[in-house]
Amino acid sequence: MSHLILVRHGQSEWNLENRFTGWVDVDLAAKGKLEACKAGELIKELNLNFEYFYTSLQKRSIETLDLILNTMRVKNQNVVNAWELNERHYGALTGLNKDEMKKLYGEEKIHIFRRSWDNPPEALKKTSPYHPLNIDIYKSVPKDKIPDTESLKNTYERVIPYYKKNIEPKLDRNIIVSAHGNSIRSLCKYLFNLDNIKISNLEIPTGNPLLIETEKGKIKNASYLDKERAKDLLVY
């Protein structure tokens, strides 16, 4: 039996401020750091040897994994940072307060932007300081791969090919992926064969590891390690 853990980064500063974050590179909030350390404690209790580790290029994902591994007393020797695991790009909504946008556009329209399968928000102008072209960590990403906006479908179309090529072949080993709400939603859609309605209702909690048990590449079981925070969540 092998194990794949998917964990959304701990609460970020913009999560705390209830802002659309997307590809903007923000820090973890104090609560997010505690969530990451708690995740590390829960994973450590499994007494498993993890060999491969993946994050996005975003520091909230990277720092979450660093805190998990420090708590586990594991040296992060095989960490891969991949832009393909980045959060969904929220286009022109980036940086805006979610509650204010609900008042301006209506809750239903914002829900469609946030949760629908193939409805991206309006594109973010390339002159915006929030555009990935203007953020240093993306200088190594091919310009034709950098989005102005994304739907969940667009996110899925970059996350899953990367997963199939780089992570899926290693499922005979134990792996931790520290990523984001929508990149993990994409992975869950693929792994659990969720339809577009189910994926729109899937909530991914911050800092709560989802343990997926596999055997010969097939999923046998899946559950969140923090049971109290997972009781109302859709799992396998």
Q: Distance (Å, rounded) from C-alpha 39 to C-alpha 31? A: 12
Token code pair at residue 207: 């800092």
- Residues belonging to the active site: 9, 87
Query: What 3-state DSSP class applies to 222?
Result: strand
Cβ(26)–Cβ(86) below 8 Å: no
Cβ(35)–Cβ(11) below 8 Å: yes
Instruction: Report how far Cα 34 is from the mean position of its chain's Cα atoms.
Output: 18
Q: Which helix (H) or strand (E) is 221 found in, with range? A: strand 218-224
Cβ(175)–Cβ(5) below 8 Å: yes
Cβ(159)–Cβ(82) below 8 Å: no
DSSP single-letter state for residue 150: -
Token code pair at residue 230: 């997972």
State the alpha helices, DSSP H only, in 90-163: 98-105, 107-115, 152-162
